[in-house]
Structure formats: structure tokens, C-alpha cells
Amino acid sequence: MVKRTSALSDALQLAWVRLRRSLTTILLTAFGLVAAWALLNLVIGGQCDGKCVVDALAQTLRVATPIAFAAFCGVLCERAGVVDIGIEGKMLMAAMAAYSVNLFGFQLLQDALGPVAAGNVSRWLALVMAVASALLLAGLHAVFSIRFKSDQIISGTVINILAIGITGYMYRAFLAENLPAGPGTFPLVPIPLLAEIPVLGPILFHQKPLTYLMLALAVGIYWMLFYTQWGLRVRAVGEHPRAADTLGIDVLRTRYINTLLGGVVAGLGGAWFTLEAVDVFSPLMTNGLGFIGLAAMIFGKWNPFGALLGALLFGLGNSVTATVSIFRPDIPSQIPQMLPYLLTIIVLTGVVGRAVAPAADGQPYEKS
């Protein structure tokens, strides 16, 4: 008993040390928020009041969700030493799978269950299928990069292009026209009591299920990586696979598992597009968010909390530009639309030099 409490207090102490280390980041973030708000009001002439700020922040969290999922996928893969740039493709695939299962599942179940129950069942079924389809691509990437040791960046690109090919084909074959009405996206799930808190409530606790799941995953993955046996082994495999191997840790198995776990997370991110954001699927709808997620991962130095912060940064950029286009319709829409991509490049160039990837990232493991 004594032993456990001491281990827990160790864990807490470690967490506190890490928190203190990231204090600068937190302060900078706060400063950035204020600056963004000031700049926003400058552009739109002081029209953004309190409600508008809260809305923008809630929107930030919403938009950050798929980016964060993508970044978590990256963290899981790359901590084990597998570079995954196929996140975009996995999300696209998952978005399509979720949409079609949601739609056609609903058609099948509607008569038997009634519209409300059928909607619920088909949405969750869609989520499962989204994860399954992303898992399939992740499995492909895993086999290619781990079993066949092919170039991981090329393999990830292959996943992306394959996903574009498959979704494009399926879209034209089945989803382009004459679709019946679907059950729609997940409804908002306000958390009782917490949602009533002023300011924080509407931002954090008045969201849809995947957003909550994303926040829970940030904590979960962090804890798993740094406090559990699994995490220690994963980090060892990503940094020095041969050392891990000499201690009897199965490097390839660890990498397979993590790449597949990454696929699950990317699948959730893909499901966000058609189960939380909008009720249609369109080709290429992921719009580079998978790549932005990778940038968020690098920004966050391969740490789930850092990655979440990066995702929130992009979410903020997005919601600010959205707010701008609402208040200033005279600015051509393409200009603010460019900003997230510009922001990604700026973040990449500013951070990447100082962030060090896991040492064995991207190198196939050759069992001597």
C-alpha cells in the first residue's frame, strides 16, 4: 500500500515538473489568444463581443478535433518509430465509410427501429466502420513499412492516393446523386452541470461526442506513454529499437500495434467530418487537415498535450478567419482560407529545428 502511494506521488511529482516546464508555453498561449482577439477586432472593427469570443473559442475546439486526432495518430506511430503521412488518406477513407454506413444503415434500420433509434444505431455503427476502414489502411501501411521495409514516406503517400482513388470511385459510383435523406450528424451533448459554467461551459462542455473523446484521448495517450509499461517500451522502440530488442521486447509487434492504434485514432478523426461536422461527403473533404495534424504533432514535440495545443492553435486560426469572413464579406473568401496553411508553414519553420523526433523515426527495423 505504501509502495503504491509512493509511486503515485512520484507520478504526480513528475507531472508537476513537466507542467512547470511547459509554463512558458501556457503563458505564450494565453498571450497569443489575447493578441488574436485584439487583431481580430482590429480587422472587423470591434464587432466581436463576449458572446462572439465564446463562440469563436467553442468553434476553435470543434475545428481542432480532427487535427488533434490526426496529431495523436502521428504521436502513436512515430513514438514507435513509424512515420505516417497517410493520416490524411485514412481520415478521408473513414469520412466516406462513416457517411455511407450512416446513410445506408439508416435506410435499412428505419422501418424496424423507427427514425430516432435507427439514427442513433446507424451513427454509432458508422463510427465503428469509420475506424475499421482507417484500420484497414493503417494495416496496409504497417505491412508495407514494417514487414516489407519500404520507404515510409512513400508508403504513406500511397495510402493517401489510394484513399483518394477509392473514395473518388465510390463517391461517383454510389454517393454522387439521388441520395435519400440521412439521419444527420451526432447531436450536441451538453454535459449536465458543467455545461452551465459561464464561459468555460459553452466552450468545453457543450460539444459533440467525438470532441469529448478527443480531449479524453489526449490525457489517456499521455498517461499511457509516460506512466505505463507499454509506454516505456514504445518509447524505447522509437528511440533505439535494437536496445529494446536485446531486452526481449518485440520491436516489430510494438510497431504493428502502434500503427494500428494510430489507424483507430485517425478513423475517429475521419468520422468527425461526416458524423460531427457536416452531413455530406465530398471528395477531398479532409482538405489537408491530416497534414496540419502532423505539423501540430511536430509543434507539440511528439507529446499528446503539445499536439493538442498545436491543434488548438490551428483551430483558433480557423475560427478567427471564419469570424472575419462573417463580419467582412468584402474580403475575398480565398484570402482567409489560405491562412491555416500559411500558419502551418510558419509553425513548421519556427519549431521544427528545435523539436527532435524519436531517433529511430522512419527507419525500418532490420532484425540483424
Partner 1 sequence: MPPALQAIGITKRFPGVLANDHVDFTLQQGEIHALLGENGAGKSTLMNILYGLYQPDEGQVWVKGELVKISNPHEAIARGIGMVHQHFMLVPPLTVTENIMLGQESLVSATRMLGRLAMLDRRSAAARIRELSRQYGLAVDPDAIVGDLPVGAQQRVEIIKALYRDADILILDEPTAVLTPQEADELFVIMRGMVKQGKSIVFITHKLREVFAVADTISVMRGGAMVGSLKPAQATRELLAEMMVGRKVILAIDKAPARPGLAVLQVEGVRVLDDRRHVAVDGVSLEIRSGEILGLAGVQGNGQTELTEALTGLRRVAGGKILLNGHDTTHATPRQLVEAGMGHVPEDRHKHGLVLSFPVRDNIVLCTYYRLPNAHGIELDYAVIARQASELVRIFDIRTPGIETTAGALSGGNQQKVIMARELSRLSERHGAQNGAPLLIASQPTRGLDVGSIEFIHRRIVEARDAGAAVLLISAELDEIMSLSDRIAVMYKGHILATVDARTATREQLGLLMAGVTPAAARPGQREGAHD
Partner 2 sequence: MTDSASPKGAVAGRGWFPLLQRVVDLLSMPALALLTAFVLGAVVILITSGRLETVGEAYWGLLRGAFIKQRGFSESLVAAIPYVLLSLGLALGFKTGLFNIGVEGQFYMGALAAAWAGQAIQGVPALVHLPVVLLAGAAGGAIWAGIPGYLKAKTGAHEVISTMMMNYIAFRLTEFIISGPLRAPSGSTIQTPRISPAAELWALWDIPNRLTAPLNALTLSLALGFGAWLIARAAGAGGQHAPDGASAHTGIGVPVSPFAGLIARITHHASRHLALVVGLGVALVSFVALPPLTRLWWPFTDEYDRLHLGLLLAILAAVGVWWLLWKTTIGFELRTVGANPNAARYAGVSITRNIVLGMALSGALAGLAGTVEVIGVSICRCLPLFFSSGYGFDSIAIALLGRNNPFGILASAFLFGAMRNGADLMELNSGVSKYIISLIQALVLLFVAAPAVVRWMYRIKAAPRAAEAPLTRGWGG
| Residues that bind partner 1 in the complex, under the rule CB under 8 A | 3-4, 6-8, 10-11, 224, 227-230, 232-233, 235-236, 239-240, 242-249, 359, 368
Choose the contact partner of 362 out of partner 1, partner 2, none; CB within 5 to 8 A by kind: partner 2
Measure the CA–CA gap between 253 and 266, rounded to whole angstroms: 20
Q: In this structure, how many other beta carbons lie within 10 angstroms of the beta carbon of residue 98?
A: 31
Asked if residue 136 binds partner 2 (CB under 8 A), the reply is no
Bridge partner list, 205: none
Q: Does 295 bind partner 2 (CB under 8 A)?
A: yes
- Work out what residue 7 binds among partner 1, partner 2, none; the CB cut-off runs from 5 to 8 Å by kind: partner 1
Q: Over the range 352-365, which residues count as b (16 or more CB within 10 Å of their CB) and which as e? A: eeeeebbebbbebb
Q: Which is nearer to partner 2, 152 or 274 (CB)?
A: 152
Contact, 214 vs 304, CB < 8 A? no
Alpha carbon distances (Å) from 320 to 39, 58, 338: 9, 11, 13
C-alpha cell at 321: 478567419
Q: Determine, following the binding rule CB under 8 A, whether residue 361 of this chain makes contact with partner 2.
A: yes
The closest alpha carbon to 263, from 148, 93, 67, 61, belongs to 93
Q: Report the nearest approach of partner 2 to the CB of residue 226 (Å).
A: 21
Please identify which residue in 11, 14, 199, 338 interacts with partner 2, judged by CB under 8 A: 338
Stretch that binds partner 2, among 61-69, 244-252, 312-320, 327-335 (CB under 8 A): 327-335
What separation, in Å, do the N-terminal and C-terminal C-alpha atoms of the chain show? 44
Residue 243-282 contact track with partner 2, rule CB under 8 A, x = bound: ----------------------------------------
Is residue 139 a contact residue for partner 2 (CB under 8 A)?
A: no
In this structure, are residues 336 and 325 in contact, taking their beta carbons and an 8 Å threshold? Answer: yes
16 binds, among partner 2, partner 1, none (CB under 5 to 8 A by kind): none
Instruction: Report the nearest approach of partner 2 to the CB of residue 270 (Å).
Output: 18
Burial of 134 (0-12, 13-18, 19+ CB in 10 A): buried
Q: Output the smallest distance, CB 13 to partner 1, in A.
A: 10
CB-based burial, 136-158: b 16+ in 10 Å, e otherwise: bbbebbbebbbeeeeebeebbeb
The number of beta carbons lying within 10 Å of the beta carbon of residue 106 is 24
Q: What is the DSSP letter of 279?
A: S
Binding of residue 85 to partner 2 (CB under 8 A): yes
Residue 231 or 362 with smaller CB distance to partner 2: 362
DSSP state of 363: P
Instruction: State the nearest-atom distance from the C-beta of 223 to partner 1, in Å.
Output: 9
Only segment of 52-60, 90-98, 158-166, 253-261 that touches partner 2 (CB under 8 A): 158-166
Centre a 10 Å sphere on the Cβ of residue 10 and count the other Cβ atoms it contains: 11
Q: Which residues bind partner 2 (CB under 8 A)?
A: 83, 85, 144, 148-155, 157-158, 160-162, 164-166, 168-169, 171-173, 287-288, 291-292, 294-295, 298, 332, 334-335, 337-338, 341-342, 344-345, 348-350, 352-353, 357, 361-363
